[in-house]
Copies of this chain bind each other. A is one copy, B any other.
Amino acid sequence: MKGQRTQQRILTAARSAFAERGYDGVSVRSVATAAGVDQALVHRYFGTKQELFLAATEVPRQMGEVVQGAMQKPDEELGAALVEAALRTWDSEVSAALISTARTVLASAEAAPVVRDVVLGTILRDLPARIGARYGEGEKRVSLVATQMVGLLVARKLVGLEPLRSMPIEELTVMIGPTVQRYLTGDLEGIQPEE
């Protein structure tokens, strides 16, 4: 019981520290001090600074669940399902936390490996194997998907580029779904109009 309360206090301290000072501006020591515990205890509960960041940030877990939900769809509907599920999450009440986390990690060169681990190891975990087994080039296809999804997030939520920012989810799904679908299951050598 006491251990759980301490863990929660550390997470709360870490969350405000990362939000206020960015990934680079936070040390495990400063989080320990803010939480009123010994630094060794933070390491014991949460491991490295990267692991503490991931634990403090709900976003990777939430985005992972969104993608897992979309993964229930058959292959030929995956593109639209991923785009729609992501857009719904980004427009939901988790939006503020997501935007703040995205700003934090994009601002930091040091955080780049964390982002890679999160995107490939948590959010898109099962996708490369599933797609690769059937269409080949699983890792390459999923990294192309990542370019479109990350760009959609940045342009719509971080930069607020109009008219994209105000476009309804349904419309964006119709427009961007086929891009993600092609990256996942299409001919990567180019779109060949069939006669």
Interface band, chain A: 35 or more
Compute how far the CA of A156 lies from the CA of B148 in the bound complex, rounded to whole angstroms: 12
Q: How many copies does the complex hold?
A: 2
Q: Is the CB of B190 within 8 A of A178?
A: yes
When C-beta atoms are compared, the residue in chain B nearest to A103 turns out to be B107
* Interface membership of chain A positions 1-36, coded 1 if the CB is closer than 8 angstroms to chain B and 0 otherwise: 000000000000000000000100000000000000
The answer to whether the Cβ of A144 comes within 8 Å of any Cβ in the partner chain is yes
CB-CB under 8 A from A178, the residues of chain B are 182, 190-191
Extra A-B contacts (11), CB below 8 Å, given A106-B158, A116-B161: A119-B159, A139-B162, A140-B167, A146-B155, A147-B164, A149-B151, A150-B151, A177-B190, A178-B182, A178-B190, A193-B194
Could you name 5 residue pairs across A and B whose Cβ atoms are closer than 8 Å?
A103-B106, A116-B162, A119-B159, A154-B154, A178-B182
Interface residues of A (CB under 8 A from B): 22, 99, 102-104, 106-109, 112, 115-116, 119-120, 139-140, 143-144, 146-152, 154-156, 158-164, 167, 174-179, 182-183, 188-191, 193-195
